[in-house]
Amino acid sequence: MKLAILALALFAQTTEVDLPSLLQVYRQLHASPELSGQEQKTAKFIAEELRRLGFEVTEEVGRYDRRPGWKSYGVVGVMKNGPGPVVLIRTDLDALPMEEKTGLPFASKVTAISASGETVPVMHACGHDLHMTCFLGTAQALSRNRKSWQGTLVMVGQPAEEIGAGSAALLRDGLYTRFPKPDFALALHTSAQLEAGKIGYCPEYTLAGVNSVDVTIRGRGGHGAYPHTARDPIVLAAQFIQAIQTIVSREVRPIDAGVVTVGSIHGGTKHNIIPDEVQLQLTVRYYKPEVQQLILSSIERIAKGLALAAGLNEDRFPIVKYGEEPVPATYNDRELTERLAQVWKREIGDDRVVQVDPVMGAEDFSRYSKDTGVRGCIFWLGAIPEAMMKEHKAQGKSLPSLHSSDLAPDAEKAIPTGIKAMVTAALELFQSGGTNQSSGPKPQ
C-alpha cells in the first residue's frame, strides 16, 4: 500500500505536470534521428539532461572498443542515494536508415552518410525516441524524489542497438567495473502489437538471438548458351535456399524455435553470362545456444554438400562467413519479471498489463544480464493508437510493424505509461534490499 501511494504521488507530481515538456522532447528526438555510431547530438542531449537532474555523467563510454573505425557515444549517469540495490535502466539512442512516411508535422526529414558511404534517410522507426523520452521522465521522477528510495541508480544511454553492437562496446569498456555493477537491469521497448497505455511482459526467453551469415556460392562461369561447360552458381544458390529451409522444419526439435531467412541474393551481370559466384546474406534466429549451433553447422554442411553434388572441387567450395557480432537471446529472469508484473497490474491496472509471447526479433539488451550475474527484464510498451487497434480487431486492418516507415506511436498515451511502469519497477527493486536470487531456471 505504501508503494502504491508513493508511485501514484510520483506520477502526479512529475509525469502529469511535465508531460507537455516531455512530449516536446519526444517530438524533438523524433525529428532529429541519428544512425548507429553517429549518435553524437542525441547522446550530448541525454548527457546534459542527466547532469541537470544531478547525475554524475560520463560520456563516450565504449569508445575504446576494438571494432575498426568505431565511434561510441555511450552515456552513463550515476546517482548514489545511500545504501541499497543498484538498478540500471537502459535506453537506446540510434535510428534506422529509412524514409519516414507518417505525415506527422514533426516527421524526420534527416539524411545521413551511412557506414557504406551512401546518403540515406533516417527515421526513428523502432521507437527509440519513445524509449529516450520515458528514460528521461523516469530520471526526473526518481531524482526529484530521492527521499523516497535508497540505493544507486545507473542510467545508460546506449548507442548502436540497431546493429547489435552497443551493449558489447559498453561492457567491454568497463560498464560493470568502472561504474557500480547493477543487481538489476531494466529496459522497455515499443510494441507495435499492443495498444498505447498497455504494458506487455514475457518471462524467460523473450527475444531471439541472431547471427548474420554471409555465404558465397561458387561455381564456374561461362556462356549462358553452353551451361554444360560451366557449373552454374545461380542454380546452386537456388538449391541452397530451398535446402536450408528444411533445417528448422526437419532438424530443429518441433518444440524449439528457429528461423533461417535469406535477406539478400546477388549474382550475375548479364542475361547470357553464367557468373562465377553468387552472394547471399542470411539472418539466423534462435533462443537456445544448441539450436544456434545446429543451424549454423547445418548451413555449412548443406552448402558443402551441394557443391560436392555439383561436381565442384574443394577450391570452389562455398565460403561461409559470420558478419555482425552475434546477439544472444534475451532472457528475462522469471521471478523478477513476474514480481514486476504484479506491481504493474496493481499500479497501472490489471486490464492494461498482459503477458505476451516471445518474439524472434533481437535486442542487444540481452548482454546486460547474460553470464553477468545481473537479473534483467525488458518489457513492452504499447504504442498503437486506440482507433487503429479497434480497426485492426474489427476489420482485420493490418498494423504498422516496428521498422515500418508508417509507424506513428500514440506518444501522449505511451509516454506516461512507460514512465509509470519504469518508476514503479525501480521503486519496487530499491525496496528489495538488493536481493539478487532468482527462483526460476537459467538459460544454458
Here the cell at position 433 is 534490499
How far apart CA 44 and CA 190 sit, in angstroms, is 23
Task: List Cβ neighbours of 253 (8 Å cut-off, separation of 6 or more).
Answer: none
What is the DSSP code string of 47-68? HHHHHHTT-EEEEEETTT-SST
Q: In sequence order, which residues have a C-beta less than 8 Å from that of residue 83 and are 6 or more positions away?
A: 150, 151
58, 249, 394 from 246: Cα distances, Å: 49, 5, 36
In single-letter form, the type of residue at position 167 comes to S
| Residue 327 CA: distances (Å) to CA of 37, 76, 207, 257, 283 | 17, 22, 10, 16, 11
Question: How far apart, in Å, are the Cα atoms of 51 and each of 28, 47, 426?
Answer: 19, 6, 20
Q: Rounded to the nearest 5°, which phi and psi values hold at 315?
A: -70, -10
Q: At what angle do helices 411-430 and 128-143 cross, to 10 degrees?
A: 50
Enter the DSSP assignment of 181: P
Distance of alpha carbon 289 from alpha carbon 11, whole angstroms:
41
Task: State the Cα–Cα distance between residues 334 and 345, nearest whole angstrom.
Answer: 16
Residues designated catalytic: 92, 162
C-alpha cell of 220? Answer: 564456374
Amino acid, res. 160: A
How far apart are the two ends of the chain, measured CA to CA in Å? 38
Burial per residue of 289-319, b for 16 or more beta-carbon CB atoms within 10 angstroms, e otherwise: eebbebbbebbeebbeebbeebebeeebbbe
Q: Which residue has 553452353 as its cell numbers?
A: 226
Read off the amino acid at residue 56.
E
Pairing mode, strands 56-61 and 277-286: unpaired
List the beta bridge partners of residue 264.
Answer: 281
Mutual angle of helices 334-348 and 2-10, in 10-degree steps? 70
